[in-house]
């Protein structure tokens, strides 16, 4: 396990966090996000991502004890409050889980979505950019969902663990999904290093990972984490099928398509397990969590739509969607 290098700051909040982490000395206190802080902005999401990364593989040169530093935890809580408040405000509240899940089957507002665009008209540089965006999550795929396991019981716990077992390769290290994505990056001529591309990836992609971490690290948000996980499993198989076909059209290396073909059949099965066995049992035991489950579903859809809009807007302009273009990408607009 190799900790990720520290990225460059994107504003005052992330600069403050990076200053503490790079100094190696616990701070007395850190500045709170000022009024008007953009809940989806670059600065907030990099600062929040750095706080969360201390709970995963850590950061290069940062002592492990910083994971539970009171000042960092206090700032993290303030950042989470800004982000979670926005997610509540920007998604429709409700407790009809079946209706929320049904919304996921509606065609994306952007036509066929990102996967449909890449299949129908995408170019190789755009595919490489897409993989770069997704690397912030897929190199830790399923790790955020593991936080919820001790917060479940009965069939919900057993079935969620069964899904996670597949995500982690069914006992085979070479088949761990994060490993398969690293292989896909290599096949696309991209660096497969853990968080290697963090400096290149803008907030819309980082926010999705931060949402998972926030839901996973709070017992009070366990319903939202399960709702998110169900939404991800339901939407993955159709998009993975398009991605695999797009990569075949582009004559990409086999390792690139393998990551997506692995998800087509597996996630079709996982969808039913999450719907019937995880959500069904969880809500049978704790029906009061239905509104949180709906939040998790709709927050996932909301943030994925924001990322899709960012990608497609840039690509249709003929400009890079990344903060720094790849070698074969056009410059920023």
- pLDDT tens by residue, 203-253: 999 999 999 999 999 999 999 999 999 999 988 888 999 999 999 999 999
For residues 329 and 139, the model is more confident at: 139
Lookup: tokens for 226: 């399960």
**Residue 89, Cα to own-chain centre: how many angstroms?**
20
CA-based R_g, the chain, Å: 19
pLDDT of residue 158 exceeding 70? yes
Instruction: Check pLDDT > 70 for residue 20.
Output: yes
Residue 5 domain-assigned (yes or no): no
pLDDT tens, position by position, 39-77:
999 999 999 999 999 999 999 999 999 999 999 999 999
Asked whether residue 247 falls in the same domain as residue 302, the answer is: yes
Task: Examine the domain organization and report whether 107 and 66 are in the same domain.
Answer: no
Q: How many domains does the chain have?
A: 2
Q: Are residues 138 and 119 in the same domain?
A: yes
With bands split at pLDDT 50, 70 and 90, how would you rate the model's confidence at 110?
low
Per-residue pLDDT at 107? 58
pLDDT > 70: percent of the chain: 96
Q: Is residue 332 part of a domain?
A: no
Do residue 142 and residue 209 come from a single domain? yes
Among the ranges given (233-237, 283-287, 299-303), the one the predictor scored with the smallest mean pLDDT: 233-237
Residue 234 and residue 110 in one domain: yes
Asked if residue 247 is part of any domain, the answer here is yes
Looking at residues 86-108, what average pLDDT do you find? 90
Q: Does the residue 323 lie in any domain?
A: no
Is a pLDDT exceeding 70 seen at residue 109? Answer: no
Question: Are 85 and 169 members of one domain?
Answer: no
Structural domain includes residue 175? yes
- 8 A C-beta contact, residue 88 and residue 295: yes
Label residues 107-138 b or e (16+ Cβ within 10 Å = b). Answer: ebebebbbbbbbbeebeebbbbbbbbbbbbbb
Assess if residue 325 is contained within a domain.
Answer: no
Where b means 16+ CB within 10 Å and e means fewer, 270-294 reads bbebbbebbbbbbbeebeebbebbb
* pTM of structure: 0.95
Question: In this structure, are 55 and 183 located in the same domain?
Answer: no
Q: Is the pLDDT of residue 266 over 90?
A: no
Structure tokens at 63: 């002592």
User: Same domain, yes or no, for 188 and 230?
Assistant: yes
- pLDDT (mean) for 170-183: 96
Check whether residue 156 and residue 304 sit in a common domain.
yes
Specify whether 130 is located in the same domain as 272.
yes
CA 50 to centroid of chain Cα atoms: 14
> CA distances (Å), 306 to each of 104, 110, 111, 138, 230, in order?
15, 11, 14, 18, 19
Torsional sign, CA 325, 143, 168, 64: positive
Claim to verify: residue 144 and residue 293 sit in the same structural domain: yes
Q: Alpha helices, DSSP H only, in the chain?
A: 12-23, 42-53, 70-90, 97-103, 113-120, 124-138, 143-146, 154-167, 177-187, 203-217, 222-249, 254-272, 280-285, 290-317
CB burial of residue 319 (10 Å; 0-12, 13-18, 19+): middle
User: Is 178 a residue whose pLDDT tops 80?
Assistant: yes
Residues 149, 249, single domain; the answer is yes
CATH of the domain at 155: 1.20.910.10
User: Which range of residues forms the domain containing residue 100?
Assistant: 93-317
């Amino acid at each position: 396990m190799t900790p990720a290098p520290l990225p460059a700051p994107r504003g005052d909040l992330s600069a403050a966090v990076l200053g503490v982490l790079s100094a190696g000395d616990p701070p007395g206190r850190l500045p709170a996000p000022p009024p008007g802080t953009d809940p989806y902005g670059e600065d907030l999401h990099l600062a929040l991502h750095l706080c969360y990364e201390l709970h995963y593989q850590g950061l290069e040169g940062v002592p492990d004890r910083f994971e539970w530093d009171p000042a960092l935890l206090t700032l993290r809580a303030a950042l989470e409050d800004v982000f979670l408040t926005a997610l509540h405000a920007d998604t429709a509240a409700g407790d009809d889980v079946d209706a929320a899940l049904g919304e996921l089957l509606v065609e994306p507002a952007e036509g066929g979505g990102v996967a449909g665009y890449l299949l129908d008209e995408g170019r190789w540089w755009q595919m490489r950019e897409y993989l770069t965006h997704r690397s912030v999550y897929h190199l830790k795929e399923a790790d955020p969902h593991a936080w919820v396991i001790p917060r479940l019981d009965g069939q919900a716990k057993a079935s969620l663990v069964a899904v996670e077992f597949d995500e982690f390769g069914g006992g085979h290290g070479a088949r761990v999904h994060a490993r398969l994505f690293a292989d896909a990056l290599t096949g696309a001529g991209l660096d497969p290093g853990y968080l290697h591309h963090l400096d290149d990836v803008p907030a819309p992609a980082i926010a999705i990972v931060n949402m998972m971490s926030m839901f996973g690290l709070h017992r009070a948000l366990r319903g939202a984490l399960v709702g998110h996980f169900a939404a991800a499993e339901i939407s993955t198989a159709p998009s993975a099928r398009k991605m695999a076909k797009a990569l075949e059209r582009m004559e990409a290396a086999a390792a690139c398509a393998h990551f997506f073909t692995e998800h087509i059949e597996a996630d079709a099965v996982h969808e039913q397990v999450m719907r019937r066995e995880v959500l069904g049992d969880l809500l049978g035991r704790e029906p009061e969590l239905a509104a949180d489950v709906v939040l998790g579903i709709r927050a996932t859809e909301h943030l994925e739509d924001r990322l899709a809009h960012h990608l497609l807007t840039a690509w249709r302009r003929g400009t890079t969607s990344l903060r720094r273009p790849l070698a074969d990408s056009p410059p920023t607009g």
